[in-house]
């Protein structure tokens, strides 16, 4: 490492004694600039460029991942928002409605639960297919995140399952749009409530007269009669909402991802997935405002032994001479809430299965072998 020379300049005017002095000064300044540029350049050259690992084609071969299973629990719930009416305090006096909401509230109710098994790249299952002149294995198709899809053939990545459809709540009805001029001109809320109640009773009387055929303008056409009755019902309902309030219901979709552990100790035991609040919907597992939503994973049949045997050891020794695929285990996933079983679904889980190898003998020049895998499990879909 070197030090940049330091120069001390004074504020005194130094007379120039000739062209040599000018050249000398310019030489010093130019030399200083050159030293600075060399220092910056040497520092940039000395830096080490580090790039993250990326699956795909490299100089040595093709890197790819096998997936691990992520369980996406999709909760479809109804959200009911109750809005009190403007004249809620007068509902019992004028309309004989003793129990009407006087404060806004929200209530969530679980409608249905779905389970989706998705594949995510497993960092512990990263493999490389070597580029060799006597093999066709490097001709592979990968997803954008490096999951192996196919060898020697084309395959499209599977889109994630479409989420359940959300249904928005209807717009609240504005009862003031149906108030008469007399009601709007009233000097107090109590007077407005009284006049609104009288208007409601008038609308009911008009409806009854139309049905009995006693109205002066009773239509002869049935379709026109229905249209008039529907208009009267809409006006009466909007004005009644000013007293008894209204409830707006929407269908909301919330999801939480759960990664099953590869350990057999947790199998068959309830695990806390998250919590569900009647007031807030899905909340975190540590939010005590909700009740627990439990998940249980039960194996179907005997799971493969986790200890390596002699055959597995031989396969691992030949890891560069074959194509590795998953053999997932099938389990039953149960979701429970407040003692009620919401769903029991059978899904494959890669973490609880095994990893097998397809011999590189399938990919020599004498055989045109095409292999297709399931994207979300990494298991063999077809071998041709």
Say what the pLDDT of residue 241 is: 94
> Is residue 344 in some structural domain?
yes
pLDDT of amino acid 138: 55
**Displacement of CA 116 from its chain's centroid (Å):** 12
Quick one: which of 231, 293, 209, 303 has its CA closest to 258?
293
Residue 14 is predicted with a pLDDT of 38
Q: How far apart are CA 237 and CA 247, in angstroms?
A: 13
Q: Which helix (H) or strand (E) holds 359?
A: strand 340-359
239: closest CA among 155, 327, 176? 176
For the CA atoms of the chain, what is the radius of gyration? Answer: 38
CA-to-CA distance for 239 and 257, rounded, in angstroms? 46
* 237's tokens: 């309902």
Task: Evaluate whether residue 368 is within a structural domain.
Answer: yes
Task: Identify whether 19 is part of a domain.
Answer: no
pTM of the model: 0.73
The pLDDT assigned to 163 comes to 75
Specify the length of the chain in residues. 384
Yes or no: say if 87 and 240 are a contact pair by the CB < 8 Å rule: no
The DSSP bridge pattern shows strands 322-337 and 340-359 to be antiparallel
What is the rounded distance in angstroms from the CA atom of residue 375 to the CA atom of residue 148? 7
Residue 92 lies in a domain: no
348: containing domain: 69-83+111-169+256-383
Counting as low any pLDDT under 50, the low residues of the chain are: 1-52, 136-137, 306-310, 313-314, 317, 319-320
C-beta neighbour count of 62 within 10 angstroms: 21
- pLDDT over 70, % of the chain: 76
In the numeric block, the tokens 């072998």 are attached to 369
CA dist 82 to 25, 94, 176, 248, Å? 84, 21, 18, 6
137 part of a folded domain: yes
Tell me, what's the pLDDT at 201?
A: 95
- Report pLDDT for 213: 80
Name the domain count of the chain: 1
Q: Is 347 within the bounds of a domain? A: yes
Contacts 24+ apart (CB under 8 A), 205-211: 206/232, 207/232, 207/233, 207/236
Residue of 140, 117, 180 lying closest to 328 (CA atoms): 117
18 within domain boundaries: no
CB count, 10 Å around CB of 233? 13
pLDDT of amino acid 60 = 64
Domain-located, residue 46: no
């Amino acid at each position: 490492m070197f030090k940049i020379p330091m120069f001390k300049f004074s504020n005194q005017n130094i007379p120039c004694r000739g062209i040599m002095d000018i050249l000398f000064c310019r030489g010093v300044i130019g030399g200083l600039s050159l030293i600075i540029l060399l220092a910056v350049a040497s520092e940039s050259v000395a830096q080490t460029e580090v790039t993250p690992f990326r699956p795909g084609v490299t100089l040595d071969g093709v890197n790819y991942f096998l997936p691990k299973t992520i369980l996406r629990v999709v909760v479809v719930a109804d959200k009911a928002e109750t809005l009190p009416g403007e004249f809620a305090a007068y509902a019992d006096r004028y309309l004989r409605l003793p129990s009407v909401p006087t404060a806004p509230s929200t209530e969530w109710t679980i409608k249905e639960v779905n389970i989706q098994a998705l594949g995510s790249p497993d960092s512990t299952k990263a493999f490389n297919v070597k580029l060799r002149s006597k093999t066709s294995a490097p001709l592979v198709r990968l997803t954008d995140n490096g999951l192996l899809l196919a060898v020697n053939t084309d395959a499209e990545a599977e889109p994630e399952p479409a989420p359940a459809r959300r249904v928005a709540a209807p717009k609240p009805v504005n009862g003031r749009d149906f108030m008469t001029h007399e009601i709007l001109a009233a000097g107090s809320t109590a007077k407005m409530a009284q006049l609104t109640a009288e208007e409601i009773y008038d609308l009911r009387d008009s409806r009854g007269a139309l049905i009995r055929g006693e109205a002066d303008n009773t239509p002869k056409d049935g379709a026109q009669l229905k249209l008039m009755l529907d208009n009267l019902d809409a006006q009466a309902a909007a004005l009644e909402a000013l007293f008894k309030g209204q409830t707006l219901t929407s269908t909301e979709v919330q999801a939480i991802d759960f990664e099953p552990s590869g350990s057999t100790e947790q199998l068959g035991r309830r695990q806390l997935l998250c919590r569900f609040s009647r007031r807030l919907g899905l909340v975190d597992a540590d939010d005590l405002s909700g009740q627990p939503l439990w998940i249980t994973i039960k194996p179907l049949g005997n799971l493969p032994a986790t200890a390596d045997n002699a055959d597995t050891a031989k396969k691992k020794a030949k890891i560069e001479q074959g194509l590795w695929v998953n053999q997932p285990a099938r389990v039953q996933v149960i979701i429970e809430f407040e003692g009620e079983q919401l769903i029991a679904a059978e899904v494959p889980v890669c973490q609880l299965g095994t990893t097998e190898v397809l011999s590189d003998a399938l990919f020599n020049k004498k055989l045109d072998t095409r292999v297709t895998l399931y994207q979300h499990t990494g298991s063999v879909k077809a071998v041709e």
